[in-house]
Structure 1
């Protein structure tokens, strides 16, 4: 059994985003004297061409993650795809594609992993299949010969496989690492280049995104729709937009696109302007409400934004929606607020609702956005003790586990404790104090390296354990009543902690449903000097309930109102204090 200290490291939910890129010599995408690729892509009917290319994407992806030629690095997976694209697109029938892919698969050589292949394990409740691989055995789709080819690949890869040169390997936590993916020169007019980016993206998510079974869409249909969209564009912005349309379907608030070149901005971005409202705003009941003030700014706390530069907030939100991967529809304002308050002009014409009346103001913009979640931390202490001997812990202020231990020691003799996880916690060790006994508390689904496309669920135990005293005298079981504060800004690590802590009998969660985006993130480099961040671990409650897309539901629902924000009141904190003082 892992010691809890190791678990603390193992269960770190979000890593710092690194923009360091990976580069390699690009394989030649066109042979000398080849015909114009764009003409080839246009000459067949769109539907047949799309079906052909989608089949290529899936067969190539399956081989990429299962065939030893790619896993051992003896063949260049991108070069192989580039050699096939125009040939497959030129095929007139599905049978032609099947014959071509059969010939290609055979050319990859002997299936030898240089390691023992284990016997395939039977499915279990602990295994979750995300990639639908039933098509690999569909002779009507692939033809008998190609089905026979794919059947030669084992359903379970060697556990001791040398992945030094593989398209994916795994770090010590089990997070997939795609840093062996090569970079390529950017030619946004080249259909080969554009499809390479799309096919790399779709397959990485097909095999290593943990929540495909929760999506509202059909993942195969996402590919079929993205192919013609990608082929219709010829510039960088349309390329980035086509990729973002795919990740938009993931319903994953961890999704974040960035450039691997320091200082370079994306062409397709939600906030192209250079200015922002100089005050923090927050989603309050489906409206953007000002939650702070700024010098020389006429906007006040509690103002409800109506329009900016002549566009209503609803119109702006609808414009920005395609840029985001939303866990659910009611998260649009929470996710897109920064883009909504963005402007290309320094002076912004803002209409707000204040006291039942609409008021118009000219507001001088700031070059930097002002985050509500960060602004509320300004001036906060790590902890305090308020009336009724109630402790209040602010994990967003803490920067180390040592600081947490010091704070919890000061709060040891309080009669109750409020933990504000509306903040993004800077520490993980709260689960050494709560629950008050070591017990199964959360389920983590990690990608199974031996069977790409599947995830293995493991229950993780957390809570106070007397054996911790061997390593630190600071830990103790906090047995008094605990209230956790939560709202739409509670995301990722905070959701992870809430999921664990609420297993304790002495814990009550008060506030609003959380974001619904939890699990360790992975980073996928894409052609065009791009990098995608996405969720790679699945997180579930002990009863199997999901957090992703739905968010964690509070035990006691309390919602903010613009009126109370104007008065400088915190309704969720007030509800927590009232509950504890009456208990």
Structure 2
């Protein structure tokens, strides 16, 4: 059993950015006296140009993460790409671009990592390859000379490589850190600038996104489609939209775009208005239903939204869909609700279905959206004991492991326990109350620093163990019946905990399937003062099953209805209480 603090640290989702900088000189996007690159990009056939640029993207990305010139910081990876873009675009044939890349690769210098290279290549049963690197050995695609060049790079990098100035290094948990990526001036009319952003994004995800094998799309095809889209635009919004179209294919609910400049909003935004419905809403069976009330607002609990400002909810959802990276289609309303209830005018014309009839209301908007999950937590205690001596734990209210221990001590003598993980848990140590006899475990797939594009799976044992008493007298095995509550709002850390807890024989999961987005997140800075958040760890059950995209399925399915919401009832909680009182 690992030390409690180490486990908690390892499993916590990381939401911080290292401030380490790149020591290389800032790259110049234009050489003095350079040709009109916009004209170069337009003069060739789109198909040949796109193929040339896609090949450049892939070869540059492979060198970026494998070649010592970049890993040791002796060459500026962005400057090298910028020097090649217009040349590659101007190549008339595949042979021409292959020759260009061969000459460029040779110019990077000797392959010396200043560290010992392991003799054995990676590839154990515990590894998952996400980046398809078979193209690096395809002479029909790259030509014999370039294939020979790439073969000079080892398949396994030194584990003690000095990554101080590398394009990616790894924090103490193993999360990839891209803070050495340089910023650039924002010239959205410059095709070089635009392609630099696209190529940085596509390669970072190709090598460090853990679930590419689950995607419904072909990842190479995403690149081929994004290149002409990126080149067609000349402004900030089209640049951001082209990048978002790539991450939209990840099916990753952790994907989140933001500006690196505090107070600056994205130009490409799902919610451009300044006002929102002043009441919380939730996805109930594929409809947005009002779940709370607000002063001076005519909307009531259980109202089903039909339209806002003349557009139906289905129409609004379809408009907002391109902005989101959805684990699956039925998650659109859950993810996009905030954008759907957004308006550019303070007075919103809202049509709802109430009691079988459609009703129209003028609603004064709020400057802030109202989260259903957060509104539920308002006023909740960390725990309570209800009829039948059943404890109810609200992890979303807890702020520390000490608070968890205190709450569980108070619940020690209850006859059964409900853990409400429809909330985002503020603590990670819930699984320390699972008795040792159940031996729950989970598999974490972390990026393998020695083989970019590969993730190494490691099982992590969880659950109560008497050795924990060395660190805290508060932990104990809760061996009486436990019910976990779950719905579409259960995501990330909550899903992680459910995956572990549900392995115990005394635990039953009740509710709806969870979101399907689990694993520590990484942050990637992009040219144009942008930052992307995405999942960087894979999470698997011991039998190899994953919850990404699919969500966790409950043992007992219970769904919300607008009718019960109108009555102020919580159907999932009621089902849990009924089950425990009958057990």
Per-residue CA shift, 1:236-264, capped at 9, x if unaligned?
Answer: 00000000000000000000000000000
Deviates more, 1:6-15 or 1:87-96: 6-15
Q: Is the 2:21–2:181 Cα contact (8 Å) retained in structure 1?
A: no
1:17-48, CA deviations, whole angstroms, 9 ceiling, x for partnerless residues?
Answer: 89999998641122221111110001000000
| CA distance in 1: counterparts of 2:248 and 2:261, whole angstroms | 23
Matched residue SS, 1:376? helix
Return the alpha-carbon distance in structure 2 between the equivalents of residues 20 and 295 of structure 1: 48
1:435 to partner: Cα distance: 4.5
Cα offset for 1:2?
2.8
Contact map agreement 1:317 1:340 (CA 8 A) in 2: yes
Query: Is the contact made by 2:121 and 2:155 (CA closer than 8 Å) also made in structure 1?
Result: no
After superposition, the C-alpha distances for 1:486-505 in whole angstroms (9 at most, x for unaligned) are 00000000000000101101
Instruction: After superposing the two structures, state which structure 1 stretch, 176-185 or 435-444, moved more.
Output: 435-444
Q: 1:113 to 1:488 in 2, by over 3 A?
A: same
Deviation sequence 1:528-565 (CA, Å, 0-9, x none): 00000000000011111111000000000000000000
How far apart, in 1, do the equivalents of 2:455 and 2:2 lie? 20
State the distance in 2 between where 1:404 and 1:168 align.
36
Give the CA deviation at 1:436.
4.1
CA drift of 1:470 comes to: 1.0
Residues 48, 93 of structure 1: 8 Å contact kept: yes
- 1:428 offset after TM fit, Å? 0.4
CA distance in 2, matches of 1:161, 1:17: 22
Distance in 1, Cα, partners of 2:179 & 2:17: 14
Structure 2 counterpart SS, 1:437: helix
Of stretches 440-449 and 354-363 in structure 1, the one that deviates more from structure 2 is 440-449
Contact 1:435 1:462 in 2 (8 A): no
CA gap 1:23/1:153 in 2 versus in 1, 3 angstroms: closer
* Cα distance, 1:134–1:397 mapped onto 2, change above 3 Å: same
Aligned in 2, Cα 1:18/1:150: closer, same or farther, shift over 3 Å?
Answer: closer
- 1:316 and 2:309 correspond: no
Q: Deviations over 1:389-415 (max 9, x none)?
A: 000000000001000000000000000
Q: Secondary structure at the match of 1:146?
A: helix
What is the TM-score normalised by the length of structure 2?
0.98
Asked whether the 8 Å contact 1:305–1:350 carries over to 2, the reply is: yes
Separation in structure 2 between the aligned mates of residue 16 and residue 60 of structure 1, nearest angstrom: 28
Retained in 1: the 8 A contact 2:20–2:179? Answer: no
CA distance in 1 between counterparts of 2:11 and 2:132 reads 28
Q: Structure 2 vs 1, CA of residues 563 and 336 (structure 1 numbering), >3 Å: closer, same or farther?
A: same
CA contact (8 A) 2:438 2:505 kept: no
Contact 1:26 1:185 in 2 (8 A): no
What CA distance in whole angstroms lies between the structure 2 residues aligned with 1:47 and 1:310? 42
Q: Distance in 1 between matches of 2:79 and 2:151?
A: 24
CA deviations 1:309-352 (Å, max 9, x no partner) are 00000000000000000000000000000000000000000000
- Whole-angstrom distance in 2 between the partners of 1:138 and 1:2: 45
CA distance in 2, matches of 1:90, 1:504: 61
**Secondary structure in 1 matching 2:437:** coil
| TM-score, normalising length: structure 1 | 0.98
- Equivalent pair of 1:120/1:155 in contact (CA under 8 Å): no
Distance 1:259 1:7 in 2: 32
* Other structure's SS at 1:47 match: helix
CA contact (8 A) 2:416 2:480 kept: yes
Q: Is 1:516–1:548's contact at 8 Å kept on the other side of the alignment?
A: yes
**Matched residues in 2 for 1:99 and 1:142: separation?**
9
Kindly report the root-mean-square deviation, in angstroms, between the aligned alpha carbons of the 2 structures: 1.4
On the 8 A contact 1:21/1:529 being kept in 2, the answer is no
8 Å Cα contact 1:510/1:558 also seen in 2: yes
Per the TM alignment, residue 437 of structure 1 is displaced from its structure 2 partner at its CA by: 4.0
Whole-Å Cα distance in 2 between the matches of residues 239 and 25 of structure 1? 25
Cα separation, 2, equivalents of 1:551 and 1:338: 21
C-alpha deviation, 1:121, in angstroms: 3.1
Distance in 1, matches of 2:85 and 2:352, equals 53
CA distance change for structure 1 residues 263 and 223 in 2, over 3 Å: closer, same or farther?
A: same
Q: Structure 1 residue 7: deviation in Å?
A: 1.1
Indicate if the aligned counterparts of 1:290 and 1:301 stay in contact, CA closer than 8 A: yes
Name the SS of the counterpart of 2:216 in structure 1. coil
For the Cα contact (< 8 Å) 1:210–1:538, is it kept in 2?
yes
Q: 1:565 — aligned with what?
A: 565
Q: Distance in 1 between matches of 2:363 and 2:464?
A: 52
- In structure 2, relative to structure 1, the CA distance for the partners of 1:22 and 1:370 (3 Å cut) is farther
Quote how far apart the aligned CAs of 1:56 are. 0.1
Asked if 2 retains the 8 angstrom alpha-carbon contact of 1:483 and 1:576, the reply is yes
Residues 102, 146 of structure 1: 8 Å contact kept = yes
Structure 1, gaps ≥5 residues long: none
Measured at CA, do residues 321 and 435 of structure 1 come closer, stay the same or move farther in structure 2, by a change above 3 Å? farther
The answer to whether the Cα contact below 8 Å between 1:284 and 1:560 also exists between their aligned partners in 2 is yes
Shift in Å, 1:183? 0.1
Residues of 1 paired with 2:354 and 2:341: CA distance? 18
User: Counterparts in 2 of 1:49-448, with a 5 A limit?
Assistant: 49-121=49-121, 123-437=123-437, 439-448=439-448
Question: Given that residues 513 and 553 in structure 1 are in contact (C-alpha distance below 8 angstroms), is that contact kept between their aligned partners in structure 2?
Answer: yes
Q: 1:430 and 1:477, CA in 2 relative to 1: closer, same or farther beyond 3 A?
A: same
